[in-house]
Amino acid sequence: MEPDLDRLFDFESHGGLFPQFGGVWDSVYDAAHEIADLVRASGSGRKRVAIVTTHSLSFAALFLAFSREEVDLFLFNPTWGRTEMDTGRRLADCHFEIQDKGPGEFFHVRNPSAPAGKSVEMRVNKLRVMIPTGGSSGRIRFAIHDWSTLAAATYGFQQHLSCERMAGHCVLPLYHVSGFMQLVRALLTMGSVVFGRIDTFAQGHDLLGAEKKEVRFLSLVATQLERLLQDEANVERLREYRAVFIGGGPASVGLLEKARILRLPLAPTYGMTETGAQVATLSPDQFLAGETHFGRALPHVRIDIVDEEASSELLPTGQVGLIRILGTSLFRGYYDDGDSKPSQSILTSDLGHLDDAGHLSVLGRADRVVITGGEKVNLREIEFVFEGSGMVRDVFAFGVADREWGELLSIAYVPQDSGIGEGALKELIGKELSNYKMPKKWIRLDRIPRNEAGKPLLREIESSVNV
């Protein structure tokens, strides 16, 4: 699926895409085109270019300037430390690295000694976008996307929502797939996008004032939603979006319940860098009705549940197994794996199941297990039981090395209120879990510390008590 880039860029050139940039857009866009011309004139053959910018204006101008060029465009995280940046540079082996410049000039172009390796032959698409992902191992990799995969992800998303155009409020980093796809969706649907941060949320929200609610969308991670809800004025602002997508990791049951009480149009979503972001999304109406899954697969993908040991074996409805995704938005492979052929499917490391209506539930990573007393226990299964009890606002299960048990199954939890005692909770949970799945260590907290992506900080949890 190839978008009509000429038509789309004619629309963009008239300034319709970025309502916040106003009169500064033309000069920055012209500067970005000068750099694209410089790269094109630097010699024959496919070029590798890294974008290392902190400002959304710079990123957007550079991306659009290169988007019809025959380049491999690498999205670098400008906050990487030295080791991470060195790894990214080694993998990308770029001809050009473009950074933000101070006042007076828009960009700084770094031109390393021109590498000779990694020659790439393109089959269909000129542009390839290399989006960084940490993967399950935590090491940096670049997932390869092109206009075909990006368009498939966008138009499948658009069809799922029955929305002609999309106006996005982007408060996620543009080097991350969840932020980057908001820019792509706005472009490919001839919509609009504004960029901001959580601490400038009100200003960004106001910039979308000319857009109807039916086309307004916002994407957040759980930590961002929690911070926004600290200001009561944001509740009404959040209600003015057609959907507020929540992804990047599980949100606490307490946060989701608070959002329902406040009647916020949340849409929990499942996806990854390799799929061009969302592949399953729960509608706000279903969320507000109390449903807790991730909805059905978007039109451009198919989701299967397969056996952990024999991945070719499809599992029946309701049975837990690995999530496999087939579709047209799948990445073209990892850059450090060479010139990968297009993928027809991806076998994830996530466990889940489908119900009779095709709704996807995700239980967590298959490798998120502990072996305690010789028995394998899936930690997300334990958390689901606690969440379903109605007695906790947040919960996190983990293992601690132990001489007797191998790993001591531990649980950190935040009770719904101070009157809930550990005895009552243990009695209720004990009716739902086998003896070997019952936590041996219970840690009662006022809140579970989490990072920006909403993931629990185990060291802080452990330091709160003598585990």
Average pLDDT, the chain: 87
Flag whether pLDDT at 109 surpasses 90.
no
Rounded-to-integer distance, Cα 20 and Cα 208, Å: 9
Residue 463 has a pLDDT of 77
Q: Which two tokens stand for residue 458?
A: 């185990």
Q: Which two tokens stand for residue 180?
A: 């980057």
- What residues does each domain of the chain span? 5-362, 369-463
Backbone phi and psi for residue 438, each to the nearest 5 degrees, phi listed first: -75, 130
Residue 367 has a pLDDT of 77
| 169-175 average pLDDT score | 95
Residue 452 has a pLDDT of 67
**3-state SS, one letter per residue, for 405-445:** CEEEEEEEEEECCCCCCHHHHHHHHHCCCCHHHCCCEEEEC
Residue whose pair of structure tokens reads 């090395």 in the numeric block: 401
Residue 10 has a pLDDT of 66
Encode pLDDT of 217-242 as tens digits.
999 988 899 899 999 999 999 999 99
Please say whether the structural domain 369-463 has been given the CATH code 3.40.50.2300: no
Threshold 0.85, pTM exceeds:
no
Residue 64 has a pLDDT of 92
Between 370 and 183, name the one with better pLDDT. 183
Compute the C-alpha angle 184/186/187, nearest 5°.
65
Flag whether pLDDT at 301 surpasses 90.
yes
Encode pLDDT of 439-462 as tens digits.
999 999 998 988 766 778 888 888
pLDDT grade, residue 122 (50/70/90)? very low
Encode pLDDT of 184-209 as tens digits.
999 999 999 999 999 999 999 999 98
Domain 5-362 carries which CATH code?
A: 3.40.50.12780
Rounded-to-integer distance, Cα 183 and Cα 195, Å: 9
Residue 209 has a pLDDT of 87
Between 426 and 134, name the one with better pLDDT. 426
Backbone phi and psi for residue 442, each to the nearest 5 degrees, phi listed first: -115, 130
Angle (deg, nearest 10), helices 177-188 and 5-13: 90
Flag whether pLDDT at 338 surpasses 60.
no
Flag whether pLDDT at 342 surpasses 60.
no
Rounded-to-integer distance, Cα 32 and Cα 9, Å: 15
Flag whether pLDDT at 176 surpasses 80.
yes
Encode pLDDT of 404-432 as tens digits.
788 899 999 999 988 888 888 999 998 88
Encode pLDDT of 73-87 as tens digits.
999 999 888 888 888
Lowest mean pLDDT among 65-79, 133-147, 214-228, 299-313: 133-147
Rounded-to-integer distance, Cα 257 and Cα 291, Å: 11
pLDDT grade, residue 44 (50/70/90)? confident
Flag whether pLDDT at 2 surpasses 50.
yes
Between 247 and 454, name the one with better pLDDT. 247
pLDDT grade, residue 68 (50/70/90)? confident
Q: How far is CA 185 from the centre of its chain?
A: 15
